[in-house]
Structure 1
Amino acid sequence: MATRRDLTKAYAREYQRAGKKRKGEMLDELCTATGWSRVNARRQLRQAASRKGRAGQAPRKPRARKYSYDALKVLEEAWTLAGEPCGKYLVAVMDDTVERLQRFRELGKVADRISDEVLAEVRSMSPATIDRYLAPIKKARYPEAKSTTRPGLILRSSISLRTCMDGFPQQPGYLEIDTVAHCGHRNEGDYLVTINATDPYLGWGIARTVKNKAFVHMKAGMDYILAHYPVPLLGVDFDNGSEFLNWSLIGWCDDHGIPTITRSRPYEHNDNAHIEQRNGDWVRRHAFRYRYETQAEQDDLNLLWTQVEARKNHLLPCVKAVDWTETASGRKKRVYDKPTTPYARLVASGVLTGPKADRLAQINYDLNPAAVTRRINAIQTRLIASAKDRTLTSRQA
């Protein structure tokens, strides 16, 4: 920012005196150096020229809001009922989300503010504008957990290594899988564990909570993931945890005809970047960092994952890295596709046919974002009431 201010100050005085052609050239130079748009560069030059040498000048008046207060309240309600996604993802599904909320009559709290003009304002907002307007609301509404992964050394040399630079085949059917321990602030004793899986190509996710990392429970969780994954499973990628690198689980893969089994490098989280991100966005965000132990909590967590999967797989978009490019300074930069839902990617892939396609299409059509959010909130309330005191006690201990 300091460099940008220096450049703007250097250009400002000359810009005021320059002719039309030179002004255009200066704007091009400034945009290339700073990455600004021409409109913003022009504004910055005018402001720099007005500030220069004018001590005691009255502060400039802030620009008037572009969107009405009614539009902001409708945006807040739609964002809340959709699960509080970021602006980039909300814009991608804004039309679909608003249509669903109106169809299911879920905008009752802001019904007196809704009009065609207000809805047009909401639909026209950019991702940056949404994030800017919702920032105070996020701030008004809202300790690192222990890792329980223990290295499995027995099969390390016999399982193929996959690094972050290798990538996945560009087709559905491959899962990154990891476990998340619900141990609170200590990892002694028995606590529940969630097996979390994601397809890097589709963005499709499945989670299942089991009693612990014993094979009998891990097998039950993997059976559930296999049964609820919408396409044939062609390969799995694990970390180096002993719950995965053992003969029993490798035998389970062989029994189900899974031809590709890979693992990441030790202590290299970027090798499992997709599932590591989902561990935070899916599991920690929705189940928090409390300690869960009981059968009732396990049942509630599995009910929670069905609702989270409905929201994340069908209603909210995600992006996928598709290429690399370079910035003006020569640094490598990832290129992402347009945000879209995992279900839309699944349909576009063409691998979903027959009764399964019809069943998923009906599930997608019947989903009410507000009802999904209410069910998630109700389950979270039960989990908090059940586990909060136990978690706080374990933290003090």
Structure 2
Amino acid sequence: MEGKIDMAARRQVTNKLRGQYRKASKADRGKILDRVVSTTGMGRSTARRMLTGPKLPDPAAQVDGRALRARGFSDDARALLEHVWALMGMPCGKYLVVMLDLWLPLLAEAGDLDKPFATKGASAELKTMSAATVDRYLKPARDRMRIKGISTTKPSPLLRNSITIRTCADEAPDAPGVIEADTVAHCGPTLIGEFARTLTMTDLVIGWTENCSIRNNASTWILAGIAELQQRFPFDLVIFDSDCGSEFINHDVAGWLQARDIAQTRSRPYQKNDQAHVESKNHHVVRKHAFYWRYDTPDALELLNRLWKLVSLRLNFFTPTKKPVGYTTTANGRRKRIYDKP
């Protein structure tokens, strides 16, 4: 076998030899088949099928001769979409199309749309885009930002067996107050030295989310962060749910929660679905705003905490959410989750 060639060349070879192959004797057909296999790198059965089948069009000619569909949206509209998406906090398409009517007037009033591409026509086009179109146009921008961080969660044997396990299969709460908590390490590319952590707490019912950055994962700073975030929630905390990390599963945190009549639960080890709500916030709240950079100075810590207060206002008052309301069965028998409108 001399080597593989592209599909266009394969079709050219088989189209040229098709007539000769059909008229040849059995012995000659075998020789022709050997030549095609050696030249194209195809399997013998594939080569035989292409030689005996109908003539196939040249892919290059097929693409060049195809009538290209006109672009549905202008370059200005696509540039405006990416600009507005970044200002909104990079939501998915289904959220973004719902947010446009509220956000566009506010952004224009604040002067954030004073761009050459932010014309009235581009704004009108943007409002007609579907959620699927938005996601398709934004895929390159999302791909450019796709980076993976480092996990710093360490399981703790302290008190772990005495704390109730709460799983993703448990009955969903019907009132606010059940909080999932987690920390994100701002270590950059290395875990060496001391670096800031961001504590995230999110409610399971209404999705209210608060963040604060702390010096490290010592219980002193964890307790200070929990106490600060507790004051920001517009309701009382009933259950505090975390992973099995030693920053949460220790006597200091357990005593603080018990003194305030807040029940403590934990997830199963290595089961991120048990904390799906806060795990999603780690990415589309913490990483999207603080990125994967390293923060290890007092000035950086102060800057992060100023950032989280602004993020909280946008996230909790100007960003829609949607919740699952049931299941349906598709035509092929698969179950599909149904969501309410954001």
Q: Quick one: distance in 2 between partners of 1:142 and 1:151?
A: 27
8 Å contact 2:188–2:293 — kept in the other structure? yes
TM-score (norm 1): 0.65
Which shows bigger deviation, 134-143 or 272-281?
134-143
- Structure 1, unmatched stretches of 5+, are 1-51, 340-397
Q: Does 1:225 align with 2:229?
A: yes
Amino acid at match of 2:252: S
**Per-residue CA shift, 1:73-116, capped at 9, x if unaligned?**
4334332332332222110111111121233343211477225x
Task: Give the direction of change, closer, same or farther, for the CA distance of 1:72–1:185 in structure 2 (3 Å limit).
Answer: closer
| 1:177 corresponds to | 181
Q: Does 1:132 align with 2:136?
A: yes
The secondary structure found in structure 2 opposite 1:109 is coil
- Structure 2, unmatched stretches of 5+, are 1-53
Among 67, 70, 80, the alignment partner of 1:74 is 80
Task: Give the direction of change, closer, same or farther, for the CA distance of 1:257–1:137 in structure 2 (3 Å limit).
Answer: closer
1:189 shift after superposition: 3.0
The secondary structure found in structure 2 opposite 1:322 is strand
Q: Quick one: distance in 1 between partners of 2:195 and 2:80?
A: 41
8 Å contact 1:73–1:110 — kept in the other structure? no
Q: Which has the higher helix share?
A: 1
Q: Quick one: distance in 1 between partners of 2:83 and 2:154?
A: 43
1:211 shift after superposition: 1.2
Q: Does 1:211 align with 2:218?
A: no
Q: Quick one: distance in 2 between partners of 1:145 and 1:81?
A: 23
Q: Quick one: distance in 2 between partners of 1:266 and 1:84?
A: 31
Q: Quick one: distance in 2 between partners of 1:203 and 1:95?
A: 22
What does 1:1-397 align with in structure 2 at a 5 Å threshold? 55=57, 59-110=65-116, 113-115=119-121, 118-136=122-140, 138=142, 144-258=148-262, 260-339=263-342
Task: Give the direction of change, closer, same or farther, for the CA distance of 1:156–1:80 in structure 2 (3 Å limit).
Answer: closer
Amino acid at match of 1:271: D
Task: Give the direction of change, closer, same or farther, for the CA distance of 1:326–1:204 in structure 2 (3 Å limit).
Answer: same
Count of aligned positions: 285
Task: Give the direction of change, closer, same or farther, for the CA distance of 1:265–1:80 in structure 2 (3 Å limit).
Answer: closer
**Per-residue CA shift, 1:230-280, capped at 9, x if unaligned?**
11111111111111111211111122222x321111111110111111111
Q: Quick one: distance in 1 between partners of 2:287 and 2:71?
A: 36
Task: Give the direction of change, closer, same or farther, for the CA distance of 1:276–1:227 in structure 2 (3 Å limit).
Answer: same
The secondary structure found in structure 2 opposite 1:197 is strand
1:140 shift after superposition: 6.7
Larger Rg: 2
TM-score (norm 2): 0.75
Stretches of 4+ moved more than 6 A in 1? 140-143
Q: Quick one: distance in 1 between partners of 2:137 and 2:186?
A: 34
**Per-residue CA shift, 1:319-373, capped at 9, x if unaligned?**
323323333333333222222xxxxxxxxxxxxxxxxxxxxxxxxxxxxxxxxxx
| 1:375 corresponds to | none
What percent of counterpart residues are identical? 42
8 Å contact 1:74–1:114 — kept in the other structure? no
Task: Give the direction of change, closer, same or farther, for the CA distance of 1:76–1:144 in structure 2 (3 Å limit).
Answer: closer
